[in-house]
Structure 1
Amino acid sequence: MNPIPRLSADDRRAQIIAAVTPAVLEHGSAITSRQLAEAAGVAEGTLFKAFGDKESLLTALAEQHMTDADAAASFESDSLDELVTTLVSVLVERMRFMFQLAMALGPIAQRVAEERREEFEQSKFWIAAHFQPFESQLRVTPLVAAELVRSLAWAAAAGWGEAEPVSSAHDIIQVLLHGIVSSDDRDPSAGTPATASALETQKV
């Protein structure tokens, strides 16, 4: 029988971070070392050996999640509509998670976010790269399209502080693809939203 390979120190740290993330989102920075150990399924001593102390673990958690490495993955899109739908859905989900993380970790997340500000600013360039193949179909440059997508996704994710966000990812997709102004001769394939936005629900 072949022995089970031991995890490297970095892989072990990443495994622990993935395991404790739900607990951190639930309890915030007030989470105890004991709760972290229970969530990770290890002894407290193992946490201290891997990270040094609780704040170092929480900082490492924020640093691992506050990166665009995963979000920058290539999307195989056959059409502009498909690309916008995929991009907005991914960005809104990711940004909502980032807001949850910021609320949970407070000053720790704010410090890491400030350190990663330049990386966030650069994110519009990988988004623009996805628009490049469809440049002839755009009314603006790929970079402007990227900035608009990113800004609208951020607004939908943040909800402007509302308890119930007014706009949804679907709303953003419809506006980007078909505009904000209703028209009798608009593309019939646009259809109607499958799910009403919060604002539409409130009006009903």
Structure 2
Amino acid sequence: MNAIPRLSGDDRRAQIIEAVTPAVLEHGAAITSRQLAEAAGVAEGTLFKAFGDKESLLVALAEHHMTDDDAIAEFTSDSLEELVATLVVVLVERMRFMFQLVVALGPIAQRVAEEHREVFDRSKLWLAAHFEPFGAELRVPPLVAAEVLRTLAWSAASGWGEHSPVSSVDDILQVLLHGIVRSEAAAAPAAPSPAGVPASASENQKA
């Protein structure tokens, strides 16, 4: 087992959290202090000294990941298509991890998520800001585009609890950019004019 280098304060706590996260995702809130210590490469006493007790460590772990603003990196895009393609991949990966965390920690993660709801709300504003430069190409306001993107990304990440989710990242990308209606439908031929009425007359009535 690889020992954690000697650090102090928040850096040491953060490094321990990163080290034990895979074990927590595997075992959930039922993970033992011994398993946590083994995953971190430290003695159990070191964990207690850093966090107080196991639940405090799990709460700190949930807060660390749920409030991690660096999890979504900054980037620039030259087109709306490139922006959406990048955001879909980033968000689905991020939300898939968060979904696993919530399932693993249950009430602990749910409580932390509620206490830090402003972080989730801030992410929507962050997304909307990336849509702003392409506002003229959008059918909806940037904030609505951000909300739709988050909703579809969460759906793909969670799979609604199904073992074999139907929608993929590419499906979400296609729906966001083109909708769920085939483009041919938009160019479908007009309905025939009523019997005895010239086509030109019908067009005039529509006008």
Shorter-chain TM range is 0.7 to 0.9
* Structure 1 position 57 matched with structure 2 position 57: yes
Q: Which amino acid aligns with 1:131?
A: F
Tell me if the contact between 1:68 and 1:123 (Cα under 8 Å) persists in the aligned partners: no
SS of the aligned residue for 1:70 comes to: helix
Q: Which amino acid aligns with 1:73?
A: A
Structure 2 CA distance for aligned equivalents of residues 33 and 47 of structure 1? 8
* CA-to-aligned-CA distance 1:69-102 (integer Å, 9 cap, x gap): 0244322211111110111111111111111111
Residue of structure 2 equivalent to 1:194: none
SS of the aligned residue for 2:143 comes to: helix
* Structure 1 position 127 matched with structure 2 position 127: yes
Residue of structure 2 equivalent to 1:80: 80
Shift in CA distance, 71/112, structure 1 to aligned 2, threshold 3 Å: same
Structure 1 gaps, min length 5: 187-204
Structure 1 CA distance for aligned equivalents of residues 83 and 70 of structure 2? 17
Tell me if the contact between 2:72 and 2:90 (Cα under 8 Å) persists in the aligned partners: no
Structure 2 CA distance for aligned equivalents of residues 84 and 91 of structure 1? 10
* Structure 1 position 31 matched with structure 2 position 44: no
Structure 1 CA distance for aligned equivalents of residues 145 and 21 of structure 2? 33
Q: Which amino acid aligns with 1:57?
A: L
Shift in CA distance, 31/6, structure 1 to aligned 2, threshold 3 Å: closer
Tell me if the contact between 1:71 and 1:90 (Cα under 8 Å) persists in the aligned partners: no
SS of the aligned residue for 1:139 comes to: coil
* CA-to-aligned-CA distance 1:93-135 (integer Å, 9 cap, x gap): 1111111111111111111111122321232100000111111
Aligned residues: 182
Structure 2 CA distance for aligned equivalents of residues 149 and 78 of structure 1? 19
Q: Which amino acid aligns with 1:9?
A: G
Per the TM alignment, residue 141 of structure 1 is displaced from its structure 2 partner at its CA by 1.1
Query: Matched residues, percent identical?
Result: 79
RMSD: 1.8
Shift in CA distance, 66/158, structure 1 to aligned 2, threshold 3 Å: same
Residue of structure 1 equivalent to 2:116: 116
Tell me if the contact between 2:6 and 2:12 (Cα under 8 Å) persists in the aligned partners: no
Q: Which amino acid aligns with 2:158?
A: A
TM-score, normalised by the number of residues in structure 1: 0.84
Per the TM alignment, residue 155 of structure 1 is displaced from its structure 2 partner at its CA by 1.4
Residue of structure 2 equivalent to 1:195: none
Q: Which moved more, 1:84-93 or 1:67-76?
A: 67-76
Tell me if the contact between 1:29 and 1:106 (Cα under 8 Å) persists in the aligned partners: yes
Tell me if the contact between 2:156 and 2:165 (Cα under 8 Å) persists in the aligned partners: yes
Residue of structure 2 equivalent to 1:47: 47
Structure 2 CA distance for aligned equivalents of residues 70 and 180 of structure 1? 33
Structure 1 CA distance for aligned equivalents of residues 12 and 25 of structure 2? 20
Tell me if the contact between 2:124 and 2:147 (Cα under 8 Å) persists in the aligned partners: yes
Structure 2 gaps, min length 5: 187-207
Residue of structure 2 equivalent to 1:182: 182
Tell me if the contact between 2:25 and 2:101 (Cα under 8 Å) persists in the aligned partners: yes
